[in-house]
Chains A and B, each alone.
Chain A
Amino acid sequence: MIGKPEWFKRRKYTGWGIMPKTWQGYVYIAVMILPLIFFQAQPYWSDRTRMIITLAWAALLAADVIHIMIKMKRDERERLHEAIAERNAFWFMMMVLVIGIAYEVASNAANQKIYVSPFMAAAVIGAVIVKMITNIYLERKN
């Protein structure tokens, strides 16, 4: 698409995504981010137009970043490290979610209500489904 994988490196210590490695990467960030500010600063556009153009540009940027991340080369050691780091991050998130759901259930039960945030429940159920699909796919593949 627009950006090239060799301009970036994968974020390892500061979250997820990519960060510039070469000057082309910094230029790419500037060229892709500045229009978002430019769109917001247009006085003659309606709010709707501004929102549509901003969302379209943000979608293009997200698609290009995902494309860059897919194309980024990693050797087997890097892939192993990434998988372990992602697994640990997932376990931590899952632990917080489960504690959050338990807290919510307990605090609502005190008021004789049964309520769990649909977002937290969807995150846990979704993760179970994704894990199941991944395992089925991997077992069929190798």
Chain B
Amino acid sequence: MAIAKNRLKEYREKAGLSQEKLAEKLGVTRQTIISLESNRYVPSLELALKLAKEFKCRVEDMFGI
């Protein structure tokens, strides 16, 4: 399944976080963040919710199909 809308990079940069820092906060590897941002990996619901919580937005604001 491909994600049509992916604004993770935009949210991360707006929050002034590096990929490494965000990965550390979420308990994932930097490679996972890179794969998410480049739309090569679809996050689980848990990870999507964690990202939404981190950036104080709704999941559908960040990702969409």
Main secondary structure of the interface of A (DSSP, over half): helix
User: What DSSP secondary structure best describes chain B's contact surface?
Assistant: loop
B35 contacts the other chain (CB 8 A): yes
Q: How many residues of A contact B (CB 8 A)?
A: 5
B28: nearest residue on chain A (CB-CB)? Answer: A75
What chain A residues lie within 8 Å of B44 (beta carbons)? 76
Q: Are A75 and B27 in contact (CB under 8 A)?
A: yes
List residues of chain A with CB under 8 Å of any chain B CB. Answer: 73, 75-78
B49–chain A nearest beta-carbon distance, Å: 12
Task: Bits for B18-44, please: 1 = Cβ < 8 Å to A, else 0.
Answer: 000000000111011001000001011
Set of chain A residues within 8 Å of B3, measured between Cβ atoms: none
